[in-house]
Amino acid sequence: MTTTDTVVFDRVTKKYGDVRAVDEVSLTLRPGETVALLGPNGAGKSTTLDLLLGLKRPDSGTVTLLGTSPREAIVAGRVGAMLQSGGLMGEVTVAELVRLACGLHPRPHPVSEVLARAGLTAIAGRRADKLSGGQAQRVRFALATAGDSDLIVLDEPTTGMDVTARRAFWATMRDQADQGRTVLFATHYLEEADAIADRVLVLHRGRLLADGTATEIKASTGMRRVSFDLPGGTHDGTQDGTSVALDEAALRRLPAVTAVTVSPGGTVRMRSSDADATVHALYGLGVYPRNLEVAGLGLEQAFVALTETDDPTGTGARTGTEEAVPA
């Protein structure tokens, strides 16, 4: 393993016509880091991974892998990748496919070890094109870890895997990072990013909106979650039982509130940029909430808050009116 930075993007831009799929992105990934790449559909995650793997060339800026070009790093077997698309070769067994991948790698691991790590030993004799979705994902994972690579790139790796397979997969990846490898994965599962990644990158409309630990990203929004139950499960939550029109619209008008949902059972969830002011105003309305909780945002809510304030007009206006506040 080398101490050179594993990945360096220096002001990388990739355009498709008028679309800036990747827009002036600069980042550095280091050995031993597990990094999640997050972003809504079309944010530029796959394009970023393609640029990183040398499958696409930037229009401007430079991509450096392990101190050299993506192509050279890949030819030297220093990068293992598990991409979303692509069927597996037919007519061959899982073991034959893994043997082939190991045979092509300059620093291969033993075939039996690769099969075992991916949980494929029991189905090693099956035809590779006759597998379930989750099994096929595990084969792709095996191909990505066939040799001793410095960087492992995974595009939505756990899609289709069941809970047990997912757990085993991430334990293995953690192990790979502990051995000094860099693991970069794109995902839509924010809870996985939160639980597994040392570092989270948030892409939106091609730009890198956030780069930090999950904790830093949650805190960076400056937002808090405020939740409470309305007395009696109704929307009339006054102390003396008299009615206040406390519907979603009224809650939305409270100071600093940026999002509201009210469940049919009367549980209110709000997002606020100043929880003290919001709660104070709530009491000011004569409402006495039960089970009041004020907490930091989860990664999913932080992600929504970050990406929705990055609107195309640059005005910070919210997108969508029927916004949900994930629990």
Ligand X SMILES: Nc1ncnc2c1ncn2[C@@H]1O[C@H](COP(=O)(O)OP(=O)(O)OP(=O)(O)O)[C@@H](O)[C@H]1O
Q: Distance between CA atoms of 221 and 137, rounded to whole angstroms?
A: 34
Nearer to ligand X, 36 or 260 (CB): 36
Distances (CA, A) of 140 to 65, 81, 84, 89, 195: 22, 9, 9, 11, 23
Q: Distance between CA atoms of 115 and 303, rounded to whole angstroms?
A: 36
In contact, 326 and 300? CB cutoff 8 Å:
yes
SS3 labels along 234-269: CCCCECCCCCCCCCHHHHHCCCCEEEEEECCCCEEE
The distance of closest approach from Cβ of residue 43 to ligand X in the complex, given in angstroms and rounded to an integer, is: 4
Distances (CA, A) of 302 to 62, 87, 210, 277, 322: 30, 35, 10, 20, 17
Nearest to 143 by CA among 133, 132, 154, 134: 154
In contact, 91 and 127? CB cutoff 8 Å:
yes
Q: Distance between CA atoms of 14 and 289, rounded to whole angstroms?
A: 50
Chain residues that interact with ligand X, rule: CB under 6 A: 16, 19, 21, 39, 41-47
Nearer to ligand X, 56 or 224 (CB): 56
The distance of closest approach from Cβ of residue 153 to ligand X in the complex, given in angstroms and rounded to an integer, is: 13
Residue 120 sits at the vertex; the CA angle it makes with 114 and 121, to the nearest 5 degrees, is: 85
3-state secondary structure of 168: helix
Nearer to ligand X, 42 or 134 (CB): 42
The distance of closest approach from Cβ of residue 55 to ligand X in the complex, given in angstroms and rounded to an integer, is: 11
The distance of closest approach from Cβ of residue 144 to ligand X in the complex, given in angstroms and rounded to an integer, is: 18
Nearer to ligand X, 84 or 273 (CB): 84
Rounded to 5 degrees, φ, ψ at 86 are 95, 120
**Tokens 């496919």 belong to residue:** 97
Nearer to ligand X, 41 or 313 (CB): 41
Q: Write the DSSP string, 67-92.
A: TB-HHHHHHTT-EEEE-S--PPPSSS
Nearer to ligand X, 41 or 242 (CB): 41
How many CA atoms are closer than 13 Å to the CA of 275, on its beta-carbon side?
A: 16
The distance of closest approach from Cβ of residue 36 to ligand X in the complex, given in angstroms and rounded to an integer, is: 13
Nearer to ligand X, 22 or 111 (CB): 22
Strands 267-272 and 290-296, by their bridges, are: unpaired
The distance of closest approach from Cβ of residue 264 to ligand X in the complex, given in angstroms and rounded to an integer, is: 32
Nearer to ligand X, 83 or 146 (CB): 83
The distance of closest approach from Cβ of residue 135 to ligand X in the complex, given in angstroms and rounded to an integer, is: 22
Nearer to ligand X, 133 or 265 (CB): 133
The distance of closest approach from Cβ of residue 110 to ligand X in the complex, given in angstroms and rounded to an integer, is: 34
The distance of closest approach from Cβ of residue 106 to ligand X in the complex, given in angstroms and rounded to an integer, is: 29
